[in-house]
């Protein structure tokens, strides 16, 4: 008889084998990217509002609020930093290993885990190596659980980053707190009753809060378990367990004997975003960018842009006429218009001012989306679309899009990743701190204590 899912997860959290060198190196890339998007997100209205609330309520100042000039208790810091990391929708995205796992139902794996690990790691004075190893464990648990739970979890409306992300956060925090088996089981049990997040809030400030709450829930669950707080020891399993209640069940073969075999961070990997918006539209944006650059097109050269895709793309990216930057992150019309007008779509493009500018509005009017059953039948494990650009001359340029830059098929370079870090950090850090932070993160395995890093990540 195979062990329960809960037992598999607990045993993996407790195992002490060092991850392979290739996994450690890849984890460093995702930590650099995760810290980048946390710094950028700290400037946003939703995070400033949340940070103000935390500071008003008072909190034991032990863990750094990235991009702020202050600290908070570990769970509060995880809440703020996790929300920051998802505020711009610029954080990485887990890839699917099978066609029935819809691209999008899986998680944004780094932010909940990293926010929890930084908060606990700082207060414990953990080394950089300990942070890396805990991050890898949390990342792996989160990704494998997201693959194993039935797709019904997402299709019913749960946001997997908020729900499954909490277990990744708890796994990382458990490692850094050195919890024993009994405590880890109880931490998982507490997390199972805390995790939440529904897709109706996409396009609002509450979507990034899901990632923050996932990080905070994982930290809170572990701190409670450390103090003897009780919970069911098999909370992921059975009729009343998390996987059945929130997901309609589980496919055990996607997790049992699969944790670390292979590590999801390498196979299939995770996509690092090149645009701060919903991942589902990024292949289409890249395809248009290639066309615009190759043909040297202006807005006036283009009569119409038609995008054909399945419901897995068109339903989540539902804002056809966005009115602010949050809605624009879930709008193909804006993303494609920004590429057409500016040939880029970065943090300085995803603003309410740019969304409502006359030139962007004119370009958005040229973009239409069409539900295409043929594209839908090709499967949902990739972000498939067909892009047609009709020029003023009448010529139509057609591209099939299913892969964006930053995916394993089109990997981001070290230079591109560091350029993204500099762009994100430029909003809140002085230049000398930016360069020092890059150097420290690139040599994280040699860092004696996390406070040497977090001290560089505040105003």
Q: Cβ distance 265 to 136 under 8 Å?
A: yes
Per-residue pLDDT of the chain (459 residues; tens, 9 = 90+): 667 999 999 999 999 889 999 999 999 999 999 999 999 999 999 999 999 999 899 888 999 999 999 999 999 999 999 999 999 999 999 988 877 776 545 899 999 999 999 999 999 999 999 999 999 999 999 999 999 999 999 889 999 999 999 999 999 999 999 999 999 999 999 999 999 999 999 889 999 999 999 999 999 999 999 999 999 999 999 999 999 999 999 999 999 999 999 999 999 999 999 999 988 899 999 999 999 999 999 999 999 999 999 998 999 899 999 999 989 999 999 999 999 999 999 999 999 999 999 999 999 999 999 999 988 888 777 789 999 999 999 999 999 999 889 988 899 999 999 999 999 999 999 999 999 999 999 999 999 999 999 999 998
Tokens encoding 205: 């400030």
Q: How far apart are CA 92 and CA 386, in angstroms?
A: 24
Question: Residue 408's closest CA among 212, 288, 262?
Answer: 262
Q: Look up the CATH architecture of domain 279-401.
A: 2-Layer Sandwich (3.30)
Ranges of each domain in the chain: 5-274+411-454, 279-401
Complete DSSP assignment for 259-304: TTTT-TTTTT-EEPPSSSS-GGGHHHHHHHHHHHHHHT--GGGEEE
* Range 155-186 burial, b when 16+ CB lie within 10 A, else e: eeebbbbbbbbbbbbbbbbbbbbebeeebbbb
Q: Going by C-beta distance under 8 Å and a sequence separation of 6 or more, which residues neighbour residue 128?
A: 443, 444, 445, 446, 447, 448, 449, 450, 453
Q: Going by C-beta distance under 8 Å and a sequence separation of 6 or more, which residues neighbour residue 234?
A: 4, 6, 7, 185, 241
Complete DSSP assignment for 147-162: HHB-THHHHTTB-HHH
DSSP-based three-state secondary structure for 398: strand
DSSP-based three-state secondary structure for 181: helix
Q: How far apart are CA 327 and CA 337, in angstroms?
A: 14
Kindly state the DSSP code that residue 252 receives in the 8-state scheme.
G
Burial class (CB in 10 A: 0-12, 13-18, 19+), 194: middle
CA–CA–CA angle 300, 301, 307 (5° rounding): 100
Burial class (CB in 10 A: 0-12, 13-18, 19+), 22: exposed
What 1-7 contacts at long range (C-beta under 8 Å, 24+ apart), as own/partner pairs, is: 2/252, 2/256, 3/256, 4/234, 4/236, 4/237, 5/145, 5/148, 5/236, 5/237, 5/243, 5/250, 5/252, 5/255, 5/256, 6/185, 6/188, 6/233, 6/234, 6/235, 6/236, 6/237, 6/241, 7/234
Q: Cβ distance 64 to 46 under 8 Å?
A: no
Give the pLDDT confidence score for residue 59 in this predicted structure.
80
Q: Cβ distance 377 to 370 under 8 Å?
A: no
How many CA atoms are closer than 13 Å to the CA of 128, on its beta-carbon side? 19
Q: How far is CA 411 from CA 232, 271, 404, in A?
A: 42, 8, 9
For residue 371, list its beta bridge partners.
Answer: 309
- The CATH superfamily of 5-274+411-454 is 2-methylcitrate dehydratase PrpD (1.10.4100.10)
Tokens encoding 198: 């529904």
Give the pLDDT confidence score for residue 203 in this predicted structure.
81
Our CA dihedral for 381, 382, 383, 388, rounded to 10 degrees, sits at -130
Q: How far is CA 119 from the centre of its chain?
A: 18
């Amino acid at each position: 008889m195979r062990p329960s899912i809960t037992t598999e997860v607990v045993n993996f959290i407790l195992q002490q084998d060092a991850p392979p060198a290739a996994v450690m190196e890849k984890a460093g890339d995702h930590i650099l990217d995760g810290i980048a998007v946390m710094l950028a997100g700290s400037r946003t209205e939703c995070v400033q509002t949340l940070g103000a609330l935390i500071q008003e309520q008072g909190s034991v100042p032990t863990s750094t609020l990235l991009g702020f000039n202050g600290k908070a208790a570990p769970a509060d810091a995880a809440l703020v930093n996790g929300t920051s990391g998802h505020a711009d929708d610029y954080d990485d995205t887990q890839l699917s290993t099978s066609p029935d796992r819809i691209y999008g139902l899986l998680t944004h794996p780094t932010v909940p885990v990293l926010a929890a690990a930084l908060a606990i790691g700082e207060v414990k004075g953990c080394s950089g190596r300990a942070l890396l190893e805990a991050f890898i464990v949390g990342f792996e648990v989160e990704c494998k659980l997201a693959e194993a739970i039935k797709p019904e979890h997402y299709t019913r409306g749960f946001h997997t980053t908020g729900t499954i992300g909490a277990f990744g956060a708890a796994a990382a925090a458990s490692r850094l707190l050195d919890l024993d088996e009994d405590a880890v089981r109880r931490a998982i049990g507490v997390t199972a009753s805390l995790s939440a997040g529904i897709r109706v809030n996409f396009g609002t400030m509450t979507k990034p809060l899901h990632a923050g709450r996932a990080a905070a829930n994982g930290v809170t669950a572990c701190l409670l378990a450390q103090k003897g707080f009780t919970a069911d020891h098999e909370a992921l399993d059975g009729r009343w367990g998390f996987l059945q209640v929130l997901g309609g069940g589980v496919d055990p073969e996607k997790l049992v004997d699969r944790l670390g075999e292979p590590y999801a961070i390498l196979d299939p990997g995770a996509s690092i975003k090149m645009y701060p918006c919903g991942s589902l539209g990024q292949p289409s944006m890249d395809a248009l960018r290639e066309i615009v650059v190759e043909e040297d097109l202006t807005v006036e050269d283009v009569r119409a842009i038609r995008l054909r895709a399945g419901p897995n793309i068109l339903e989540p990216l539902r804002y056809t006429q966005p009115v602010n930057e949050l809605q624009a992150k879930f709008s193909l019309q804006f993303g494609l218009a920004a590429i057409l007008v500016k040939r880029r779509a970065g943090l300085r493009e995803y603003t309410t001012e740019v969304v409502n500018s006359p030139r962007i509005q004119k370009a958005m009017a040229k973009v239409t989306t069409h539900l295409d059953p043929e594209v839908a039948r090709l499967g949902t494990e990739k972000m498939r679309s067909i892009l047609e650009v009709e020029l003023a001359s009448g010529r139509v340029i057609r591209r099939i899009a299913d892969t964006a830059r930053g995916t394993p098929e089109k990997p981001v370079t070290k230079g591109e990743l560091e350029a993204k870090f500099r762009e994100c950090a430029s909003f809140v850090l002085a230049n000398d701190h930016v360069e020092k932070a890059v150097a420290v993160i690139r040599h994280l395995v040699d860092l004696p204590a996390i406070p040497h890093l977090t001290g560089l990540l505040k105003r």
